[in-house]
Structure formats: C-alpha cells, structure tokens
Structure 1
Amino acid sequence: MAVKFEFSDVDSFFEQGYAEVKAAEDKVGKEAVDYAIEHGNYQNRTGTLRKSNKYSVQDDGLELRNEAEYASFVESKGYEVLTGAALYAEKRLKEEIK
C-alpha cells in the first residue's frame, strides 16, 4: 500500500511566517532607534550622534548600528548611545514574536 502526501501549502505557510517576522523586526527596529534618540544621555552638540542611529532587517535578524565613528568611544565613557536600545529591541522582539 503506497501512501502519497501533499505538501503544496507548506511553502506558503513558511513564507507568511517569514513575512510576519520581518514586519515585526521592522516595527521594533523603528522603535529601537526612537528609544536610542530619546534615551541617549550624552550632550549632542552637533546632532550627528543621534541622527546616526540606524536599523536594518537582515535575513538573519535585526541589526542596530550607529554610523558615527565615535559612537563606541562615547559609550565607553559611560554614556548611553545604542546599548540600551539594543536591550529594548531584544525585549520587544520577544514580546512580538511568541
């Protein structure tokens, strides 16, 4: 007795799930950048450091970055630039993707 299986709907199921995860990552990425801008506890003399907070959704997840060359230096001095936003994003993604 031969058994035949039909899995044609599986691909669309995974594609829909993938799209939902990407949408959640995009939403949380925007929130995380806003969080970084709002909670940065450094004196933003030129405006460059806050404007340099960016995010992108990659195939393997959400990427947060600050494109100012001196962002890590400012954080090393104990100021909040992007680290708090990364922790916020992790928390929010866990809430969004259950």
Structure 2
Amino acid sequence: MIEGKLNIAFDRIKEQYIKAATQKFIEVGERCITESRDNGSYTDRTGNLRSSVAYVVLLDGVVQSQGNINKHNKEQIEKIKAKYPKGLVLIVVAGMNYAAYVEAKGYNVLSSAELMAENILKQLYGS
C-alpha cells in the first residue's frame, strides 16, 4: 500500500519536472530565434536566412512545441528529429542551404544562439 502511494508520488514529481524542463526548453528555443535574428553578423539581403531560423522541442520523439517552422527549414528539422527518438531535445536550425557556408566564412548565424542555449541549460541542469 505504501509502495503504491510512493510510486504515485514519484510519478507526479517526475511529471512536474518534465513539464518544467520542457517549458524551459521552449523558452530557450524562442530565445535562440531572437538571438540569431538580432545578432546575426551577416548582411541578409533577401531576409531568407534570418527568417529560416526555427526550433522544435521533442519529448520522446513527440513535438511539444515549435517556432517559425516554414518551407525552408521543415525538411532539415525532420531529418534531425529522426535521430532523437528518446528524451527531451531542443533542435534549432537555420533552414537555408547556405547557412553553414556563411558560418564558415566567420559570420554569426547560429553560433551565438547555440552558445547561449548551452549556457542557459548548463546553469539549470549542470553539464
């Protein structure tokens, strides 16, 4: 009887923790979009690169939240999602096929957003 009550209590605590962690990942995803748009160090003549930045939060492979999904980034996100069937995952992408090229030239596309996300999550959950 006590064991059953403990299991219920532990399940509730686990559920609350997962819910809070998921919400924090969503907040970080939104901040990544803002960071990459505001601090991209390149000239975005068409607006396509900045508008292609998106995020998805997955819990055991199921989308919990997503931001700015569009035709430029959807396929890339789907490929990455397939690699993470378990756990809580934040995926942030720049959907234009030349994003990596721009980063390789020394411009900030997603690098500052990635660094920011890592720092926030390390502070919250440790290394």
TM-score normalised by structure 1 residue count: 0.88
**Larger-Rg structure:** 1
Query: Could you tell me the percent identity over the aligned residues?
Result: 32
| Equivalent position of 1:35 in the other structure | 35
After TM superposition, give the deviation of residue 96 of structure 1 in Å. 4.0
Q: 1:93 to 1:4 in 2, by over 3 A?
A: closer
* Inter-partner Cα distance in structure 1 for 2:45 and 2:51: 12
After TM superposition, give the deviation of residue 50 of structure 1 in Å. 0.4
Instruction: Structure 2 unaligned segments of length 5 or more: list them.
Output: 60-87
RMSD after superposition: 1.7
* Inter-partner Cα distance in structure 1 for 2:2 and 2:92: 46
Letter in 2 for 1:70: Y
TM-score normalised by structure 2 residue count: 0.69
Residue 66 of structure 1, aligned match among 94, 111, 119 = 94
Matches within 5 A, 1:21-60: 21-59=21-59, 60=88
Letter in 1 for 2:3: F
| Equivalent position of 1:20 in the other structure | 20
* Inter-partner Cα distance in structure 1 for 2:110 and 2:35: 9
Structure with more contact order per residue of length (Cα contacts < 8 Å, sep ≥ 6): 1
After TM superposition, give the deviation of residue 97 of structure 1 in Å. 4.2
